[in-house]
């Protein structure tokens, strides 16, 4: 158990004792594992309004675990009430830019906010080089601020952990994090993550086509956050684009239709299915009911049509 965690427990224990004669407060009732959708729009294009690019926050005993860093993640974390200097763990599912564009910037933003601790970042090969390249990109600024403002060197604050096979990713006192390879051609190194905390288990699908192995991986989880693609929306989208045929082929091979998301959730027997990473993510004419309709053909549990900053 690390120092901060021990301090937290001690503080929490004395808080509980002090509060025993008072009416129950929301702090005591609050779940210790919280899930907040930071960005729910699939794809790298920045929307004019509505959904932000992909990122999901899991708070375990108030420690933030950020899964994917699409553009806007720093802003969304602040909107979710998480100060950037609290950043501690980052997980990247795969190296499409809607999942990593703000990785470097998020680390930078945490540093400039006065990050007291190290950040550990996990993901497929390429992560370490990408972080290094980001620091080179900002070398002038970083070196200037170290010299001029007496700041610490951010290059020492980040530790990257690459993996190229599914399995155990991280284990600490609060949570066990494991990964599962998913199907996202042409990218081979694409993963889903599972967080098993004491009170809840949560699976984030990452980007994937229908992958029955994901159902095994998510077996019995309390919450499955799964990507989703709506075919009539895709067809409306590709009609407007010059490279329509190629794009449609990519989307069909690499993402999951609502009916198949429902099958995965049913096979996995999860309690709650949360739809996120909507493709297309900025077509306001698609209703929540349309997103969920196909899912419900197969899955009889609770279905949540995700929105930015929604907490589950």
CB nearer Zn ion, residue 160 or residue 208: 208
Number of residues that bind Zn ion (CB under 5 A): 4
Q: How far is the CB of 2 from Zn ion (least distance, A)?
A: 33
Q: How far is the CB of 279 from Zn ion (least distance, A)?
A: 8
Candidate ranges 2-10, 61-69, 98-106, 161-169; the one touching Zn ion (CB under 5 A): 98-106
Q: How far is the CB of 42 from Zn ion (least distance, A)?
A: 5
CB nearer Zn ion, residue 96 or residue 226: 96
Q: How far is the CB of 162 from Zn ion (least distance, A)?
A: 18
CB nearer Zn ion, residue 96 or residue 183: 96
CB nearer Zn ion, residue 42 or residue 123: 42
Question: Interface with Zn ion includes 98 (CB under 5 A)?
Answer: yes
The one among 34, 41, 51, 96 contacting Zn ion by CB under 5 A: 96
CB nearer Zn ion, residue 54 or residue 154: 54
The one among 102, 207, 282, 308 contacting Zn ion by CB under 5 A: 207
Question: Interface with Zn ion includes 68 (CB under 5 A)?
Answer: no
Report which of 253, 264, 190, 258 is spatially closest to residue 224, judged by C-alpha positions. Answer: 264
Residues that bind Zn ion in the complex, under the rule CB under 5 A: 42, 96, 98, 207
């Amino acid at each position: 158990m690390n120092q901060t965690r021990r301090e937290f427990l001690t503080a929490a224990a004395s808080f509980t004792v002090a509060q025993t004669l008072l009416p129950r407060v929301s702090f005591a009732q609050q779940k210790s594992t919280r899930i907040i959708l930071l960005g729910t729009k699939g794809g790298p294009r920045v929307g004019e309004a509505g959904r932000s690019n992909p990122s999901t926050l899991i708070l375990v005993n108030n420690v933030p675990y950020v899964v994917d860093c699409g553009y806007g993640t720093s802003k969304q974390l602040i909107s979710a009430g998480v100060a950037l200097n609290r950043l501690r763990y980052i997980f990247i599912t795969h190296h499409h830019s809607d999942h990593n564009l703000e990785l470097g910037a998020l680390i930078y933003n945490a540093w400039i906010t006065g990050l007291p601790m190290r950040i550990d970042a996990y993901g497929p090969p390429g992560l370490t080089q990408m972080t290094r390249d980001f620091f080179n990109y900002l070398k002038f600024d970083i070196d200037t601020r170290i010299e001029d403002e007496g700041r610490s060197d951010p290059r020492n604050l980040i530790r990257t952990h690459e993996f190229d096979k599914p399995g155990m990713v991280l284990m600490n006192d609060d949570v066990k994090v494991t990964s599962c390879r998913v199907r996202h051609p042409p990218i081979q190194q694409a993963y889903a993550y599972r967080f098993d905390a004491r009170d809840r288990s949560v699976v984030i699908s990452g980007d994937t086509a229908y992958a029955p192995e994901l159902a095994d991986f998510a077996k019995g989880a309390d919450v499955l956050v799964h990507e989703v693609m709506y075919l009539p929306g895709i067809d409306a989208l590709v009609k407007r684009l010059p490279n329509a045929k190629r794009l449609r082929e990519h989307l069909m091979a690499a993402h999951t239709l609502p009916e198949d998301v429902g099958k995965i959730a049913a096979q996995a027997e999860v309690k709650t299915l949360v739809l996120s990473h909507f493709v297309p993510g900025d077509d306001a004419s698609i209703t929540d009911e349309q997103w969920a309709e196909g899912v419900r053909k197969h899955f009889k549990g609770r279905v949540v049509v995700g929105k930015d900053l929604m907490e589950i």
